[in-house]
Structure 1
Amino acid sequence: MSQTVDRALSILPLLAQGPADLGQVADRLGVHKSTALRLLRTLHEHGLVYRQQDQRYRLGARLFALAQEAVENLDVREIAHPHLVELNEQCGHTVHLAVYEENEVLYIDKVESRYPVRMYSRIGKPVAITVAAVAKLLLADLSETERRAIADKLDYPMYTPRSTPGAAAFLKELAAVREQGWATDLGGHEESINCVGAPIRGADGRVVAAMSVSAPNVVVTAEELLTLLPLVRRTADTISREYSGSNRPKKV
Protein backbone atom coordinates (compact mmCIF):
# COMPACT_ATOMS: atom_id res chain seq x y z
CA MET A 1 0.00 0.00 0.00
CA SER A 2 2.84 2.40 0.83
CA GLN A 3 4.30 1.88 -2.66
CA THR A 4 0.93 2.78 -4.18
CA VAL A 5 0.73 5.98 -2.13
CA ASP A 6 4.31 6.85 -3.02
CA ARG A 7 3.61 6.40 -6.74
CA ALA A 8 0.40 8.45 -6.54
CA LEU A 9 2.16 11.29 -4.76
CA SER A 10 4.99 11.18 -7.31
CA ILE A 11 2.49 12.15 -9.98
CA LEU A 12 1.79 15.54 -8.41
CA PRO A 13 5.27 17.11 -8.83
CA LEU A 14 5.32 15.73 -12.39
CA LEU A 15 2.06 17.52 -13.23
CA ALA A 16 3.27 20.65 -11.46
CA GLN A 17 5.69 21.01 -14.40
CA GLY A 18 2.74 21.02 -16.83
CA PRO A 19 0.06 18.71 -18.27
CA ALA A 20 1.15 15.17 -19.13
CA ASP A 21 -0.52 12.27 -20.90
CA LEU A 22 -0.92 8.72 -19.61
CA GLY A 23 2.21 7.47 -21.34
CA GLN A 24 4.38 10.22 -19.87
CA VAL A 25 3.07 9.53 -16.37
CA ALA A 26 3.65 5.79 -16.75
CA ASP A 27 7.19 6.33 -18.06
CA ARG A 28 8.07 8.69 -15.22
CA LEU A 29 6.78 6.27 -12.60
CA GLY A 30 8.27 3.24 -14.34
CA VAL A 31 4.96 1.37 -14.32
CA HIS A 32 2.52 -0.08 -16.85
CA LYS A 33 -0.08 2.29 -18.30
CA SER A 34 -2.87 0.38 -16.54
CA THR A 35 -1.23 1.06 -13.16
CA ALA A 36 -0.70 4.72 -13.99
CA LEU A 37 -4.32 5.02 -15.14
CA ARG A 38 -5.60 3.53 -11.90
CA LEU A 39 -3.56 6.01 -9.88
CA LEU A 40 -4.68 8.95 -12.01
CA ARG A 41 -8.32 7.94 -11.71
CA THR A 42 -8.03 7.83 -7.91
CA LEU A 43 -6.43 11.28 -7.82
CA HIS A 44 -9.07 12.53 -10.25
CA GLU A 45 -11.88 11.26 -8.01
CA HIS A 46 -10.46 13.34 -5.15
CA GLY A 47 -10.07 16.44 -7.33
CA LEU A 48 -6.28 16.40 -7.09
CA VAL A 49 -5.79 15.97 -10.84
CA TYR A 50 -7.99 16.90 -13.78
CA ARG A 51 -8.23 15.26 -17.20
CA GLN A 52 -8.34 17.78 -20.03
CA GLN A 53 -10.20 17.37 -23.32
CA ASP A 54 -6.91 16.47 -25.00
CA GLN A 55 -6.67 13.51 -22.56
CA ARG A 56 -3.70 15.03 -20.75
CA TYR A 57 -3.76 15.41 -16.99
CA ARG A 58 -3.02 18.53 -14.93
CA LEU A 59 -3.22 19.43 -11.27
CA GLY A 60 -6.80 19.73 -10.02
CA ALA A 61 -8.51 22.68 -8.37
CA ARG A 62 -8.97 20.75 -5.12
CA LEU A 63 -5.21 20.61 -4.64
CA PHE A 64 -4.93 24.39 -4.88
CA ALA A 65 -7.86 24.83 -2.50
CA LEU A 66 -6.21 22.54 0.05
CA ALA A 67 -2.92 24.41 -0.27
CA GLN A 68 -4.62 27.77 0.22
CA GLU A 69 -6.53 26.49 3.23
CA ALA A 70 -3.33 25.14 4.76
CA VAL A 71 -1.53 28.46 4.30
CA GLU A 72 -4.42 30.42 5.80
CA ASN A 73 -4.45 28.20 8.87
CA LEU A 74 -0.73 28.32 9.52
CA ASP A 75 0.08 30.08 12.78
CA VAL A 76 3.64 31.34 12.61
CA ARG A 77 3.60 32.15 16.32
CA GLU A 78 2.63 28.59 17.26
CA ILE A 79 5.32 27.15 15.01
CA ALA A 80 8.00 29.62 16.11
CA HIS A 81 7.41 29.65 19.86
CA PRO A 82 9.31 26.49 20.90
CA HIS A 83 12.27 27.61 18.79
CA LEU A 84 12.21 31.06 20.41
CA VAL A 85 12.20 29.40 23.82
CA GLU A 86 15.16 27.22 22.84
CA LEU A 87 17.07 30.25 21.56
CA ASN A 88 16.33 32.09 24.80
CA GLU A 89 17.63 29.12 26.80
CA GLN A 90 20.84 29.12 24.75
CA CYS A 91 21.63 32.83 24.96
CA GLY A 92 19.63 34.07 27.94
CA HIS A 93 18.44 37.27 26.25
CA THR A 94 15.00 38.57 25.29
CA VAL A 95 13.62 37.07 22.08
CA HIS A 96 10.88 38.74 20.04
CA LEU A 97 8.68 37.68 17.11
CA ALA A 98 6.97 40.35 14.98
CA VAL A 99 4.75 40.69 11.91
CA TYR A 100 3.75 43.53 9.60
CA GLU A 101 0.00 44.22 9.62
CA GLU A 102 -2.00 47.25 8.50
CA ASN A 103 1.02 49.56 8.26
CA GLU A 104 2.33 48.60 11.69
CA VAL A 105 4.96 46.17 12.90
CA LEU A 106 3.63 44.35 15.95
CA TYR A 107 5.18 42.00 18.48
CA ILE A 108 3.24 38.74 18.51
CA ASP A 109 5.48 36.76 20.87
CA LYS A 110 8.16 37.43 23.46
CA VAL A 111 10.38 35.25 25.64
CA GLU A 112 11.82 37.18 28.57
CA SER A 113 15.50 37.44 29.41
CA ARG A 114 16.87 35.45 32.32
CA TYR A 115 18.68 38.59 33.50
CA PRO A 116 17.17 41.08 36.01
CA VAL A 117 17.18 43.95 33.46
CA ARG A 118 14.09 43.44 31.30
CA MET A 119 12.94 44.86 27.97
CA TYR A 120 9.99 47.24 28.06
CA SER A 121 8.08 45.62 25.22
CA ARG A 122 4.70 43.89 25.10
CA ILE A 123 2.94 41.43 22.84
CA GLY A 124 0.54 43.34 20.62
CA LYS A 125 2.46 46.59 20.96
CA PRO A 126 3.72 48.33 17.78
CA VAL A 127 7.49 48.67 17.46
CA ALA A 128 9.45 51.80 16.61
CA ILE A 129 9.22 51.17 12.89
CA THR A 130 12.13 53.36 11.73
CA VAL A 131 14.72 51.79 14.01
CA ALA A 132 13.66 48.29 15.12
CA ALA A 133 15.53 45.38 13.57
CA VAL A 134 12.33 43.37 13.06
CA ALA A 135 10.69 46.31 11.27
CA LYS A 136 13.64 46.70 8.93
CA LEU A 137 13.46 43.00 8.06
CA LEU A 138 9.75 43.06 7.34
CA LEU A 139 9.79 46.27 5.30
CA ALA A 140 12.96 45.34 3.40
CA ASP A 141 11.09 42.42 1.83
CA LEU A 142 8.53 44.73 0.20
CA SER A 143 8.94 45.94 -3.37
CA GLU A 144 10.98 49.09 -3.98
CA THR A 145 7.81 51.01 -4.82
CA GLU A 146 6.17 49.92 -1.56
CA ARG A 147 9.29 50.73 0.46
CA ARG A 148 9.49 54.24 -0.98
CA ALA A 149 5.79 54.89 -0.39
CA ILE A 150 6.07 53.82 3.25
CA ALA A 151 9.33 55.70 3.85
CA ASP A 152 7.84 58.93 2.53
CA LYS A 153 4.90 58.73 4.94
CA LEU A 154 6.83 57.94 8.11
CA ASP A 155 7.96 60.34 10.79
CA TYR A 156 11.56 59.95 11.92
CA PRO A 157 11.77 60.70 15.63
CA MET A 158 15.31 60.92 16.94
CA TYR A 159 14.97 58.62 19.91
CA THR A 160 18.76 58.65 20.25
CA PRO A 161 21.66 60.08 18.22
CA ARG A 162 21.74 56.70 16.44
CA SER A 163 18.13 56.83 15.26
CA THR A 164 17.38 56.80 11.52
CA PRO A 165 17.28 60.52 10.56
CA GLY A 166 15.06 60.45 7.48
CA ALA A 167 13.57 58.63 4.48
CA ALA A 168 16.79 58.54 2.43
CA ALA A 169 18.75 56.93 5.26
CA PHE A 170 15.89 54.53 5.99
CA LEU A 171 15.67 53.36 2.37
CA LYS A 172 19.43 52.89 2.24
CA GLU A 173 19.32 50.75 5.35
CA LEU A 174 16.40 48.68 4.04
CA ALA A 175 18.35 48.02 0.85
CA ALA A 176 21.31 46.81 2.90
CA VAL A 177 19.08 44.58 5.05
CA ARG A 178 17.47 43.12 1.93
CA GLU A 179 20.92 42.30 0.54
CA GLN A 180 22.49 40.84 3.67
CA GLY A 181 19.45 39.02 5.08
CA TRP A 182 19.69 40.27 8.67
CA ALA A 183 19.27 43.51 10.61
CA THR A 184 20.36 45.30 13.76
CA ASP A 185 19.24 48.09 16.05
CA LEU A 186 22.32 49.21 17.91
CA GLY A 187 21.04 51.87 20.25
CA GLY A 188 18.65 53.36 17.73
CA HIS A 189 15.58 53.27 19.96
CA GLU A 190 17.19 53.21 23.37
CA GLU A 191 20.88 53.96 23.71
CA SER A 192 21.33 51.15 26.21
CA ILE A 193 19.59 48.45 24.15
CA ASN A 194 21.00 46.52 21.21
CA CYS A 195 19.23 44.07 18.96
CA VAL A 196 19.99 41.65 16.11
CA GLY A 197 17.34 39.96 13.98
CA ALA A 198 16.64 37.60 11.09
CA PRO A 199 13.64 36.97 8.78
CA ILE A 200 11.24 34.04 8.76
CA ARG A 201 10.13 33.10 5.25
CA GLY A 202 7.21 31.19 3.79
CA ALA A 203 7.24 28.60 1.02
CA ASP A 204 7.33 31.35 -1.61
CA GLY A 205 10.44 32.92 -0.09
CA ARG A 206 8.62 36.01 1.15
CA VAL A 207 9.16 37.24 4.70
CA VAL A 208 6.16 36.36 6.88
CA ALA A 209 7.63 37.37 10.24
CA ALA A 210 10.85 38.52 11.84
CA MET A 211 12.58 37.49 15.04
CA SER A 212 15.23 39.17 17.13
CA VAL A 213 17.42 38.90 20.19
CA SER A 214 17.75 42.02 22.33
CA ALA A 215 19.89 42.84 25.34
CA PRO A 216 20.96 45.90 27.36
CA ASN A 217 24.61 46.85 27.10
CA VAL A 218 25.02 46.44 30.86
CA VAL A 219 24.54 42.71 30.24
CA VAL A 220 26.30 42.28 26.90
CA THR A 221 28.07 44.68 24.54
CA ALA A 222 26.88 45.28 20.99
CA GLU A 223 29.94 43.43 19.69
CA GLU A 224 29.18 40.42 21.91
CA LEU A 225 25.54 40.44 20.84
CA LEU A 226 26.56 40.38 17.18
CA THR A 227 28.39 37.11 17.75
CA LEU A 228 24.95 35.55 18.25
CA LEU A 229 23.95 36.41 14.66
CA PRO A 230 24.72 32.92 13.24
CA LEU A 231 22.60 31.33 16.00
CA VAL A 232 19.74 33.78 15.39
CA ARG A 233 19.83 33.13 11.65
CA ARG A 234 19.91 29.35 12.12
CA THR A 235 16.87 29.60 14.39
CA ALA A 236 15.01 31.75 11.86
CA ASP A 237 15.88 29.30 9.07
CA THR A 238 14.65 26.36 11.16
CA ILE A 239 11.34 28.12 11.77
CA SER A 240 11.12 29.02 8.07
CA ARG A 241 11.60 25.38 7.03
CA GLU A 242 8.98 24.18 9.49
CA TYR A 243 6.53 26.94 8.51
CA SER A 244 6.95 26.32 4.79
CA GLY A 245 7.02 22.54 5.09
CA SER A 246 10.53 22.28 3.64
CA ASN A 247 13.24 20.05 5.07
CA ARG A 248 16.03 21.53 2.99
CA PRO A 249 18.82 22.98 5.14
CA LYS A 250 19.87 26.54 4.46
CA LYS A 251 23.41 27.83 4.72
CA VAL A 252 24.15 30.71 7.08
Structure 2
Amino acid sequence: MSEPSTRTVERALSLLADVCEKGSTTLADAARAVDLAPSTALRLLRTLEASGFVRRDAEGSYRAGSRLMQLGAQALGNESLIDLCHDEMVALEAETGESVYLSVEGHADSALYIAIVEGSHSVRHANWVGRTIPLEGSAAGLVLRGATPEPGFVVIERGIERDVTAVAAPLTAAGRVVAALSILVPTYRMSESDAQQCGELLAAAARRLSARLTDSSHR
Protein backbone atom coordinates (compact mmCIF):
# COMPACT_ATOMS: atom_id res chain seq x y z
CA MET A 1 0.00 0.00 0.00
CA SER A 2 1.40 3.40 -0.97
CA GLU A 3 2.16 6.05 1.64
CA PRO A 4 -0.80 8.30 0.68
CA SER A 5 -3.16 5.32 0.80
CA THR A 6 -1.81 4.26 4.19
CA ARG A 7 -2.27 7.78 5.51
CA THR A 8 -5.86 7.87 4.26
CA VAL A 9 -6.63 4.61 6.04
CA GLU A 10 -5.05 5.91 9.25
CA ARG A 11 -7.12 9.09 9.09
CA ALA A 12 -10.34 7.18 8.42
CA LEU A 13 -9.67 4.82 11.32
CA SER A 14 -8.89 7.75 13.60
CA LEU A 15 -12.22 9.33 12.71
CA LEU A 16 -14.03 6.04 13.23
CA ALA A 17 -12.41 5.61 16.64
CA ASP A 18 -13.41 9.15 17.63
CA VAL A 19 -17.03 8.53 16.65
CA CYS A 20 -17.10 5.27 18.63
CA GLU A 21 -15.43 6.72 21.72
CA LYS A 22 -17.78 9.71 21.88
CA GLY A 23 -20.93 7.86 20.87
CA SER A 24 -22.08 10.90 18.90
CA THR A 25 -20.03 13.71 17.39
CA THR A 26 -20.32 16.55 14.91
CA LEU A 27 -18.19 17.01 11.82
CA ALA A 28 -16.41 19.98 13.39
CA ASP A 29 -15.63 18.13 16.62
CA ALA A 30 -14.46 15.00 14.81
CA ALA A 31 -12.19 16.99 12.49
CA ARG A 32 -10.73 18.88 15.44
CA ALA A 33 -10.18 15.71 17.47
CA VAL A 34 -8.07 14.04 14.79
CA ASP A 35 -6.45 17.23 13.49
CA LEU A 36 -7.99 17.21 10.02
CA ALA A 37 -9.42 19.93 7.84
CA PRO A 38 -13.24 19.77 7.92
CA SER A 39 -13.31 19.13 4.17
CA THR A 40 -11.00 16.12 4.56
CA ALA A 41 -12.95 14.80 7.54
CA LEU A 42 -16.22 15.19 5.62
CA ARG A 43 -14.88 13.24 2.66
CA LEU A 44 -13.69 10.38 4.88
CA LEU A 45 -16.87 10.34 6.95
CA ARG A 46 -18.97 10.17 3.79
CA THR A 47 -16.95 7.15 2.69
CA LEU A 48 -17.45 5.51 6.08
CA GLU A 49 -21.15 6.35 5.96
CA ALA A 50 -21.55 4.84 2.49
CA SER A 51 -19.97 1.63 3.79
CA GLY A 52 -22.23 1.51 6.84
CA PHE A 53 -19.46 2.10 9.38
CA VAL A 54 -20.97 5.40 10.56
CA ARG A 55 -24.42 6.93 10.24
CA ARG A 56 -25.91 10.38 10.71
CA ASP A 57 -28.72 10.88 13.19
CA ALA A 58 -31.64 13.30 12.91
CA GLU A 59 -29.49 16.14 14.27
CA GLY A 60 -26.74 15.51 11.73
CA SER A 61 -24.27 14.08 14.24
CA TYR A 62 -22.22 11.01 13.42
CA ARG A 63 -22.71 7.71 15.26
CA ALA A 64 -21.49 4.14 14.87
CA GLY A 65 -23.21 2.50 11.90
CA SER A 66 -24.86 -0.87 11.51
CA ARG A 67 -21.92 -2.40 9.65
CA LEU A 68 -19.57 -1.56 12.50
CA MET A 69 -22.00 -2.94 15.06
CA GLN A 70 -22.43 -6.10 13.01
CA LEU A 71 -18.70 -6.70 12.84
CA GLY A 72 -18.30 -5.89 16.52
CA ALA A 73 -21.03 -8.32 17.42
CA GLN A 74 -19.45 -10.99 15.27
CA ALA A 75 -16.02 -10.42 16.77
CA LEU A 76 -16.99 -10.08 20.41
CA GLY A 77 -20.54 -11.14 21.07
CA ASN A 78 -21.87 -13.68 18.62
CA GLU A 79 -19.89 -16.60 19.97
CA SER A 80 -21.09 -16.04 23.53
CA LEU A 81 -24.64 -15.33 22.29
CA ILE A 82 -24.64 -18.57 20.32
CA ASP A 83 -23.35 -20.47 23.35
CA LEU A 84 -26.06 -18.92 25.53
CA CYS A 85 -28.83 -19.86 23.09
CA HIS A 86 -27.61 -23.31 22.06
CA ASP A 87 -29.42 -25.44 24.63
CA GLU A 88 -32.73 -23.64 24.10
CA MET A 89 -32.36 -24.03 20.33
CA VAL A 90 -31.65 -27.75 20.72
CA ALA A 91 -34.72 -28.10 22.93
CA LEU A 92 -36.89 -26.25 20.41
CA GLU A 93 -35.71 -28.51 17.60
CA ALA A 94 -36.35 -31.59 19.73
CA GLU A 95 -39.91 -30.46 20.45
CA THR A 96 -40.82 -29.32 16.93
CA GLY A 97 -38.49 -31.29 14.65
CA GLU A 98 -37.91 -28.07 12.68
CA SER A 99 -34.84 -25.95 11.96
CA VAL A 100 -34.18 -23.28 14.59
CA TYR A 101 -32.19 -20.14 13.75
CA LEU A 102 -30.55 -17.32 15.66
CA SER A 103 -30.11 -14.01 13.84
CA VAL A 104 -28.89 -10.49 14.55
CA GLU A 105 -29.26 -7.21 12.69
CA GLY A 106 -26.81 -6.96 9.83
CA HIS A 107 -25.68 -4.28 7.42
CA ALA A 108 -27.98 -2.17 5.25
CA ASP A 109 -31.39 -3.16 6.67
CA SER A 110 -30.68 -6.87 6.77
CA ALA A 111 -30.79 -9.70 9.28
CA LEU A 112 -27.79 -12.03 9.54
CA TYR A 113 -28.23 -15.70 10.45
CA ILE A 114 -25.48 -16.65 12.91
CA ALA A 115 -26.50 -20.11 14.16
CA ILE A 116 -28.77 -23.04 13.37
CA VAL A 117 -29.90 -26.28 14.91
CA GLU A 118 -31.12 -28.24 11.90
CA GLY A 119 -34.47 -29.98 11.95
CA SER A 120 -34.82 -33.75 11.85
CA HIS A 121 -37.28 -33.98 8.94
CA SER A 122 -35.98 -35.24 5.62
CA VAL A 123 -37.44 -32.08 4.06
CA ARG A 124 -36.23 -29.17 6.15
CA HIS A 125 -34.93 -25.66 5.79
CA ALA A 126 -31.34 -25.63 4.50
CA ASN A 127 -28.51 -24.13 6.52
CA TRP A 128 -28.46 -20.36 5.93
CA VAL A 129 -25.85 -19.47 8.54
CA GLY A 130 -23.79 -16.56 7.27
CA ARG A 131 -26.51 -15.41 4.88
CA THR A 132 -28.50 -12.21 5.18
CA ILE A 133 -32.16 -11.52 4.50
CA PRO A 134 -34.01 -8.19 4.28
CA LEU A 135 -35.52 -6.84 7.48
CA GLU A 136 -38.54 -5.84 5.42
CA GLY A 137 -40.97 -8.69 4.92
CA SER A 138 -39.23 -11.24 7.15
CA ALA A 139 -40.27 -12.56 10.55
CA ALA A 140 -36.78 -12.09 11.98
CA GLY A 141 -36.66 -8.60 10.48
CA LEU A 142 -39.91 -7.52 12.12
CA VAL A 143 -38.66 -8.84 15.44
CA LEU A 144 -35.29 -7.10 15.12
CA ARG A 145 -37.07 -3.84 14.30
CA GLY A 146 -39.05 -4.11 17.51
CA ALA A 147 -42.35 -4.80 15.75
CA THR A 148 -43.34 -7.93 17.68
CA PRO A 149 -47.07 -7.97 18.55
CA GLU A 150 -48.51 -8.75 21.97
CA PRO A 151 -48.36 -12.58 21.78
CA GLY A 152 -44.57 -12.25 21.72
CA PHE A 153 -43.92 -13.72 18.28
CA VAL A 154 -44.33 -13.02 14.56
CA VAL A 155 -45.55 -15.40 11.84
CA ILE A 156 -44.78 -14.74 8.17
CA GLU A 157 -46.09 -17.17 5.56
CA ARG A 158 -44.33 -17.23 2.18
CA GLY A 159 -42.27 -14.14 2.96
CA ILE A 160 -38.63 -14.23 1.89
CA GLU A 161 -39.06 -17.73 0.49
CA ARG A 162 -42.20 -18.70 -1.40
CA ASP A 163 -42.64 -22.11 0.23
CA VAL A 164 -41.46 -21.34 3.77
CA THR A 165 -43.29 -20.13 6.87
CA ALA A 166 -41.17 -18.34 9.46
CA VAL A 167 -41.98 -17.81 13.12
CA ALA A 168 -39.76 -15.52 15.20
CA ALA A 169 -39.49 -14.09 18.71
CA PRO A 170 -37.22 -11.36 20.11
CA LEU A 171 -34.28 -11.72 22.46
CA THR A 172 -33.85 -8.59 24.54
CA ALA A 173 -31.26 -7.28 26.97
CA ALA A 174 -32.26 -4.44 29.28
CA GLY A 175 -35.26 -3.70 27.06
CA ARG A 176 -33.36 -3.60 23.76
CA VAL A 177 -33.83 -6.21 21.01
CA VAL A 178 -30.46 -7.85 20.37
CA ALA A 179 -31.37 -10.95 18.37
CA ALA A 180 -34.19 -13.00 16.90
CA LEU A 181 -34.93 -16.65 17.53
CA SER A 182 -36.86 -18.26 14.69
CA ILE A 183 -38.23 -21.51 13.33
CA LEU A 184 -38.40 -21.98 9.55
CA VAL A 185 -40.75 -24.63 8.20
CA PRO A 186 -41.91 -25.73 4.73
CA THR A 187 -45.33 -24.09 4.45
CA TYR A 188 -47.12 -27.30 3.46
CA ARG A 189 -46.20 -28.72 6.88
CA MET A 190 -47.24 -25.69 8.96
CA SER A 191 -50.92 -25.33 9.88
CA GLU A 192 -52.27 -22.30 11.73
CA SER A 193 -52.32 -24.25 14.99
CA ASP A 194 -48.76 -25.45 14.37
CA ALA A 195 -47.64 -21.86 13.85
CA GLN A 196 -49.34 -20.83 17.08
CA GLN A 197 -47.67 -23.65 18.99
CA CYS A 198 -44.24 -22.85 17.52
CA GLY A 199 -44.75 -19.20 18.36
CA GLU A 200 -45.62 -19.93 21.96
CA LEU A 201 -42.61 -22.21 22.34
CA LEU A 202 -40.32 -19.61 20.76
CA ALA A 203 -41.71 -16.79 22.89
CA ALA A 204 -41.21 -18.79 26.08
CA ALA A 205 -37.63 -19.69 25.13
CA ALA A 206 -36.95 -16.08 24.14
CA ARG A 207 -38.22 -14.82 27.50
CA ARG A 208 -35.92 -17.18 29.37
CA LEU A 209 -32.93 -16.18 27.25
CA SER A 210 -33.78 -12.49 27.54
CA ALA A 211 -33.81 -12.77 31.32
CA ARG A 212 -30.34 -14.31 31.23
CA LEU A 213 -29.07 -11.67 28.81
CA THR A 214 -30.43 -8.88 30.99
CA ASP A 215 -28.85 -10.41 34.09
CA SER A 216 -25.52 -10.62 32.26
CA SER A 217 -25.71 -6.99 31.14
CA HIS A 218 -26.19 -5.84 34.75
CA ARG A 219 -23.12 -7.62 36.09
TM-score of Structure 1 vs Structure 2, range by shorter chain: 0.5 to 0.7
SS in 2 for 1:116: coil
SS in 2 for 1:201: strand
SS in 2 for 1:189: coil
**Contact 1:197/1:211, CA 8 A, preserved across alignment:** yes
Point out where structure 1 has 5 or more consecutive residues left out of the alignment.
1-71, 141-173, 247-252
Q: Which has the larger radius of gyration?
A: 1
The alpha-carbon deviation at position 131 of structure 1 amounts to: 1.8
SS in 2 for 1:107: strand
**Contact 1:95/1:212, CA 8 A, preserved across alignment:** yes
Task: Calculate the TM-score normalised by the size of structure 1.
Answer: 0.50
| Among candidates 159, 167, 183, match of residue 154 of structure 2 | 183
Q: Which residue in 1 is equivalent to 2:120?
A: 114
The alpha-carbon deviation at position 180 of structure 1 amounts to: 5.1
User: Is residue 97 from structure 1 mapped to residue 99 from structure 2 by the alignment?
Assistant: no
The alpha-carbon deviation at position 216 of structure 1 amounts to: 0.8
**Contact 1:199/1:209, CA 8 A, preserved across alignment:** yes
Count of aligned residue pairs for this structure pair: 139
More deviation, 230-239/97-106: 97-106
Counterparts of residues 165-180 of structure 1 (less than 5 Å): 174=147, 177=148
CA–CA distance in structure 1, aligned partners of residues 200 and 77 of structure 2: 30
CA–CA distance in structure 1, aligned partners of residues 85 and 118 of structure 2: 15
The alpha-carbon deviation at position 125 of structure 1 amounts to: 0.5
Deviations 1:41-71 (A, max 9, x none): xxxxxxxxxxxxxxxxxxxxxxxxxxxxxxx
**Contact 1:88/1:113, CA 8 A, preserved across alignment:** yes
SS in 2 for 1:199: strand
Give the 4+ runs in structure 1 shifted more than 3 A.
Answer: 178-181
User: Is residue 243 from structure 1 mapped to residue 213 from structure 2 by the alignment?
Assistant: yes
User: Is residue 199 from structure 1 mapped to residue 170 from structure 2 by the alignment?
Assistant: yes
Task: Calculate the TM-score normalised by the size of structure 2.
Answer: 0.57
**Contact 2:153/2:200, CA 8 A, preserved across alignment:** no
Q: Which residue in 2 is equivalent to 1:41?
A: none
| Among candidates 72, 79, 82, match of residue 84 of structure 2 | 79
SS in 1 for 2:84: helix
Q: Percent identity?
A: 26
CA–CA distance in structure 1, aligned partners of residues 87 and 112 of structure 2: 19
**Contact 1:105/1:135, CA 8 A, preserved across alignment:** yes
The alpha-carbon deviation at position 236 of structure 1 amounts to: 0.6
Point out where structure 2 has 5 or more consecutive residues left out of the alignment.
1-75
